[in-house]
Structure 1
């Protein structure tokens, strides 16, 4: 350490000791003034915390999560149909609309989505995830050999406020989607 740095550190130590001795006598204003002096000295010697001191603007502690099922069995569902999981069990933040089958991000963030669907033997079923009209996550089954089968997929993606996510039939008409074993859920990952 240079002589200047040693001197500066000595001054800081003396100021801290002096303020600790007089702590009972300090007013709120005096304390803040001393604190600002210490911050300025630390800045001058090049020592500053590496973390941000800016408040997180959009983290308000609100939960954004939904889970929805089908209320009835779907048959002969044409290609390009958006699946409306219309029996909503949870919809914190009101991002999911069961009437359209679309989730709209209420705030910017990273979101996780998971969906599963139940089909019967011989099925060809591609239920893919779309974000703002773009096919983003593929999943499907073709010429299913078991009597009944679940197919699942998940997606973690960064979304802007107002971006939309939904599940849509891709590739071909789906003969049957069983209601009791088919669902869609999603939530915002915590960033705070």
Structure 2
């Protein structure tokens, strides 16, 4: 209980200190000096201005370079044409994303098929399936079909995500199929 009171006291003390510093400032130089002292006190208390920290940007987008046909179950689906790879965490040769740091990541993939074809996929993290996408062009007559899936994952540094075929990988339209992700 005493920790709770100490924490509340520290916050109240910080607010009172800021208020008194700002009210007592007579000129702009005096205000800046007092503001800098306030920030110094806050930093010593463990507070940080999060807006001043630069945020690590990790994001990628890739699409299939060519059509993919007759992909066997649990084979990697290749998205080899990279349009964005900020942070260089996506490898277009292996079609795998390796987390450069711990955090939450969002991934989306879209698969388009030709009329009469199916293409099922799954997103895996370190080889474990966590989400699926089923595209069935067999029931739509002469229509091209597409499906998208999105998943948000908590990842550790060096965890690996990729898209694998799931059961059926008959025919996917290359330029219309994509894989993307980013760190939240």
- Using the size of structure 2 for normalisation, the TM-score is 0.71
Separation of aligned partners in 1, 2:153 and 2:163: 14
Deviation per CA, 1:13-47: give whole Å up to 9, x if none.
9xx59x9389989xx7xx959x86xx8xxxxxxxx
2:121 alignment partner, SS class: strand
Closer, same or farther in 2 for the Cα pair 1:21/1:168, shift >3 Å? closer
**1:161 correspondence with 2:161:** no
Q: Which residue of 2 aligns with 1:20?
A: 24
Closer, same or farther in 2 for the Cα pair 1:131/1:55, shift >3 Å? farther
Q: Which residue of 1 aligns with 2:70?
A: 76
Candidates 110, 116, 120, aligned match of 1:116? 110
Unpaired runs of 5+ residues, structure 2, are 1-12
Deviation per CA, 1:30-81: give whole Å up to 9, x if none.
x959x86xx8xxxxxxxx9xxx61577xx64232100001111111111111
**1:181 correspondence with 2:181:** no
Q: Which deviates the most, 81-90 or 116-125?
A: 116-125
Separation of aligned partners in 2, 1:151 and 1:101: 19
**1:66 correspondence with 2:70:** no
Provide the alpha-carbon RMSD of the alignment. Answer: 3.3
Separation of aligned partners in 1, 2:25 and 2:110: 66
Closer, same or farther in 2 for the Cα pair 1:20/1:123, shift >3 Å? same
2:172 alignment partner, SS class: strand
Separation of aligned partners in 2, 1:76 and 1:112: 28
Unpaired runs of 5+ residues, structure 1, are 1-8, 40-47
**1:92 correspondence with 2:86:** yes
